Structures are given as structure tokens and as C-alpha cells.
Amino acid sequence: MHSIGIIRLSSLGDIILTEPVTRALKNNFPQTRITYFAKESYRPVLEMFAAVEDIITFEIPGEDEKLGAVKNKTRELPYDFDLVLDLQKNIRSRVILRNLKSSETMTYKKNRLARQIAVWFRRKEGGKHTSEKYLALLDELMVICTDRIPRLAVPEESKLAAKKYLNSIGFESEKFVALAAGASHPPKHYPINQFAELAEIVSSQYGLKILVVEQEHFGYLNLFDKLKSQGVLEFGIGIELKKLAGILENARLVISNDSGIMHLSAALGTPTAGLFGPTHPVLGFAPLGRDTIAITTNEDLSLIHISEPTRPY
């Protein structure tokens, strides 16, 4: 094969979980050009995929009926594909898939019914990881995958930017723990007051500094004021993704809600603890890696669109 396309438009964690697919394809077909289709906002994470050579991005509108621009951009691509894998399986990805010139196409099986059954019958074990569902397509192609753990490669310039940032906040020679206190859906948020208590324990019992990372400001950050006034805690708000990856790569531990940052940290090889409240690891989104753990309250499963929580911890 000369050219393979992969479609996964969003979101951060889901895209990271597709990385083993790209690497396995490249290992089995070294001369093949791998092109990845995603939303523009996820270009930075794809630039850390060692096996991806081309990235084609879209500014996807909110309404499905306004996808004409996506269709036209797809049709105008100057090359054909031997194979295209749709790892999203929604109306947007289908528009792209149908308008690409490809000899063969494959779509991953979401198996939404199995996830819904897990909710109905409150099953809390035995679920198949989402990454394995992506890799199942390679099994059909008889492609060998020897490493099924997502791995990201931080560019050198981003590592340097991370070190410069850590120096600027006085963490240059300090061991620190990163707390990812946010998530795309508020019900996934571990209570911020309990994050503050956790930060107190990390500082007082282990003598480590704390970096609270988030893409935007959110309420109750003042609960961390005591530690900040003592010079043992800093906020990292809105840090560019590749620079953030370089920062997390330097952390002793990342404690995160069930979020994209959790998967980012795990894929960097940083010890990672994922906190699951109204979602559950059985749904297939536990962090993957040698030094990762999913910590769950084992609450009754409750979902929005089968995959997102309806209520907080």
C-alpha cells in the first residue's frame, strides 16, 4: 500500500487512543504515507504522532447540514488512497469517507449497544477498551501490532519551551505533581474542594510542588490560595498543547479527571491516575500505560449520549 487515510475528527482523548493504529500501520507498511483527518484544534496532538506524515484538518461547523465545505475540501485532494479507516463513525466522518478516492474503506465498530447494556445492567467489569476497538480493524487486515499503548513524541522545541516555563514559575529543579482539575463535561469534575485537599496532602506529606493545569479559568480556584501563597502551588492555565505535553513529561505524577489531559499524560509515559465518578473505566476510556491507574467510585453508570455523564460525583 502507498497511501492510508485515518479519520478521527475529535476529541483529544479519542484521537490519542488511535495512535497505536497509526504506528502499527507504519511498521507493517514502512513506505506508506499515512494521512490523518481531524478538526483543526487537534493538529498539535497529531504533530506528536511519529507515524503520521500528513494532517488534513477541518473547521467543522456545529450543524451537520452545513458540511458542504468539508465535502468540497475532501473531493479536491490531489491523491487517492489505498485504504481509509473511519475511526469516528458519525455523519461528519461519513461525509469525508464517501468523498475520498479510496480503493478500500473500513469503519470501526462502536458497539453502542454493549455500552448501553453496561449502563442498563450496571456492569462494572469486562468492558472492551476503546483503543482495542480501533485496533480490531487491524486484526481484520491481518496487520501485526506489537505495542498497543499510545505513545507521543514531544518536539524538542516544545520540551525547551516547557523547561523555560517551569523555570519561570520556580519549578526548574523541583519535583512536582500536576493536577488536571477540569474536563469537557462539568459532571466529570472531581469536586474542586477535594482537589484542594489532595494538593494539601501532596505538599505536606510528600514535599512536592503542585501545578494545577486547565485550558481555561474555572470557579473556586481560590480554594488553592493557601498553597499558592506558600509558594508551593502554581496555576498553568491555557498552555499550548505541545508545551503542556513537555510540562507533563517532567511531572512525577499527573492526577486527572476522566479527560483528554489524562490520556495525554499516559501517552507521554508519565505516571497517571485517572479519576472516574459518573463515568466508569468499563466504558473503555481508562488511561493506558505501565504506570497508570483508573480510580473509580463505582457509582451506578449514567451517561449522556452513552459516553458522557449526566450527574457529578
SS3 sequence of 183-219: CCCHHHCCCHHHHHHHHHHHHHHHCCEEEEEECCCCC
Whether cis (ω within 30° of 0) applies to the bond prior to 11 is yes
Round the average pLDDT of the chain to a whole number and report it. 87
Query: Which of 29-38, 146-155, 275-284, 296-305 is the least confident region?
Result: 296-305
Q: What's the pLDDT tens digit per position in 48-81? A: 999 999 999 998 765 554 678 888 889 888 889 9
Q: In the chain, pLDDT over 70 holds for what percent of residues?
A: 85
Please indicate whether the domains covering 3-140 and 157-296 agree at the CATH topology level.
Answer: yes
Name the CATH code of domain 3-140 (choices 3.30.310.80, 2.40.50.140, 3.40.50.2000, 3.40.50.1370): 3.40.50.2000
Write down the CATH superfamily of domain 157-296. Answer: Glycogen Phosphorylase B; (3.40.50.2000)
Distances (CA, A) of 130 to 15, 200, 297: 11, 34, 21
Angle between helices 241-249 and 260-267 (to 10 degrees): 60
Q: What does the domain layout of the chain look like in residue ranges?
A: 3-140, 157-296
Return the pLDDT at 16.
98
Q: What's the pLDDT tens digit per position in 167-222? A: 999 997 789 999 998 777 676 778 889 999 999 999 999 999 999 998 776 667 78
